Structure 1
Amino acid sequence: MIKVLTIAGSDSCGGAGIQADLKTFSALGTYGMSVITAVTAQNTRGVYNVRELDPEIVRDQINAVFEDIKVDAVKIGMVSNAAIIAVIAESLLRHKAQKIVLDPVMISKSGCNLLQPQARDALIKELLPLAEVVTPNLLEAETIIGEKISTLPAMEKAAVAIKSLGANNVAVKGGHLEGDAVDVLYDGNTFRHFASGRIPTAHTHGTGCTFSSAIAAFLAKGHPVEEAVAGAKEYISGAIAHAFPLGQGVGPTHHFYRFYSNSDGINGGGER
């Protein structure tokens, strides 16, 4: 069994964070494990409160997993303060963690800051150099490089700048631009574009978490980076296409769309 660890925050409505990561790992045929960094009070309409865990319990969760179980890949999501970031970096280095995917979660769709401003530099300095792949969206990439991004060439320029900070590969997500959703992967030598048609849905809660988790799952299964990103792009596109309404706001993507049909009572359906 391929085993993947997520280090991230909990989403109480189940569409993003730890919950989305574990669903993604399962949907892609891997065994998911988790280290929780924060508990959020959120629903489809927004994030209402965040309670960070103590760095010590974050460290102890990581140690408990690595000291007992072989970890084939790691996804890092919401890490909201510098102390937690330092503990994660130290622990992953000590355990010689491999195939790390960093999703630099900074701002929720509802506009809530999920990364403390003073933690930005810590994330860049301590976690980016550990990443096999880092997956910023446009707002996160703008925050990292301090420049506005509004075109595909600007995405490529941002990927180069972020690569210079230490990540092995950078996948800048272009979902916030007009037209087709184009993601740019840069490995230090070559740009690769992954495009999909714009899907007419408002229900996109957890897309970033799901995409990065899918990359981690494919890396854990032995795929090279380009194949992992391509597989994750295909998976998230399908999950968005089969997204369904939940609550009164932005509903989640459908992580298990391949295993449900419309007769199962969940909008979106898919293959069995």
Structure 2
Amino acid sequence: MTAAVALTVAGSDPSGGAGIQADLKTFSALGAYGTAVLTALTAQNTRGVTGVHPVPAAFVREQIATLLDDVTVHATKTGMLGTADVAREVAAALAGRAAGPVVCDPVMVATSGDRLVDDDAIAAVRTDLLPVTDLVTPNVPEAAALLDVAPATTVDELPGQARALLELGPGAVLLKGGHLGGTESVDVLATAGGVVVTRRPRVDTAATHGTGCTLSSAIAALVARGVGGPGDWEPAVERARDHLQRMLAAGESLGIGSGHGPVHHFAGIWDS
């Protein structure tokens, strides 16, 4: 038996709560062997992002090609891509599905509110990456940016925006409603077969750094292990949300940083 292998194509977070670092921790916590292709360096902590240094697009493509020439990848998650050129190169590299189903977390704004990509990069994700994506996982502001509309302000608006995102080409959409507030965190999973609403009690915590990265990488890890995937995303989405719920609840116990601390990627593992 060989290991389930998941790939993250994303940027780096020196504070360890988001990006490549969060993805690799999540893969490990869920039993997948993690591989990684770096798209950008950031100067970042729990309070914000002070700088972004993109990796040249051709070298991102070379990283992917060299990895896939040797390692069998069962699922891929994309995160922060940084530039339009990088987004296009990643889309081209993943178009043949040689790296398994693609889960796209369209990282555009950090938890701190810092914008991470420009309009050209958003357009490249919309036109090049989404059509080769099997599941896209935007939050409310990211969905609005991809659709070029005003952000949703109520849960009732989420299904319509999720269906509109489907028309851009991804196989499925998980529109995350965490930004809307309230006592519940409500996400909407839209596929060609319809819309499913998934709810969890909202966790009252400041340890929310990297939640989007962690959820999408959890889905990719589960898919790599054979849980759900194209045609039936609900099992992977529900299990990933349960995992994130535990990590959110334990995040403040880490005591990392003075801003939005990270979730606890090894909650229930370190404890035992």
Q: TM-score, normalised by structure 1?
A: 0.94
Structure 2 counterparts to residues 83-122 of structure 1, below 5 A: 83-94=85-96, 96-122=98-124
Instruction: Name stretches of at least 5 consecutive residues in structure 1 with no aligned partner.
Output: 262-271
Partner of 1:14: 16
- Aligned-pair distance for 1:153? 2.0
2:251 aligned counterpart, secondary structure: coil
Partner of 2:175: 172
Structure 2 counterparts to residues 27-106 of structure 1, below 5 A: 27-94=29-96, 96-106=98-108
Find the aligned partners of 2:110 and 2:181 in 1 and give their Cα distance.
20
Task: Look up the equivalent residue of 1:210 and give its one-letter code.
Answer: T
Please identify runs of 4+ aligned residues in structure 1 that moved more than 6 A.
none
Task: Look up the equivalent residue of 1:159 and give its one-letter code.
Answer: A
Structure 1 residue 246 corresponds to structure 2 residue 265: no
Find the aligned partners of 1:95 and 1:76 in 2 and give their Cα distance.
13
Find the aligned partners of 2:117 and 2:226 in 1 and give their Cα distance.
31
Q: Deviations over 1:108-166 (max 9, x none)?
A: 12222111111111111111111111000011011111133011221000100000100
Task: Look up the equivalent residue of 1:253 and give its one-letter code.
Answer: V
Query: Is 2:76–2:102's contact at 8 Å kept on the other side of the alignment?
Result: yes
Find the aligned partners of 1:218 and 1:87 in 2 and give their Cα distance.
26
Find the aligned partners of 2:6 and 2:80 in 1 and give their Cα distance.
16
Structure 2 counterparts to residues 125-144 of structure 1, below 5 A: 125-144=127-146
Query: Is 2:6–2:76's contact at 8 Å kept on the other side of the alignment?
Result: yes
Task: Look up the equivalent residue of 1:125 and give its one-letter code.
Answer: T
Partner of 2:240: 232
Query: Is 1:21–1:209's contact at 8 Å kept on the other side of the alignment?
Result: yes
Q: Deviations over 1:193-228 (max 9, x none)?
A: 111111111110000000000010111111221100
Identity within the alignment, % = 44
Q: TM-score, normalised by structure 2?
A: 0.94
- Aligned-pair distance for 1:189? 2.5
Q: Which moved more, 1:219-228 or 1:161-170?
A: 219-228
2:122 aligned counterpart, secondary structure: helix
Instruction: Name stretches of at least 5 consecutive residues in structure 2 with no aligned partner.
Output: none
1:223 aligned counterpart, secondary structure: coil
Question: Considering only aligned residues, what root-mean-square deviation do their CA atoms show, in Å?
Answer: 1.1
Find the aligned partners of 2:217 and 2:56 in 1 and give their Cα distance.
24
- Aligned-pair distance for 1:95? 6.0
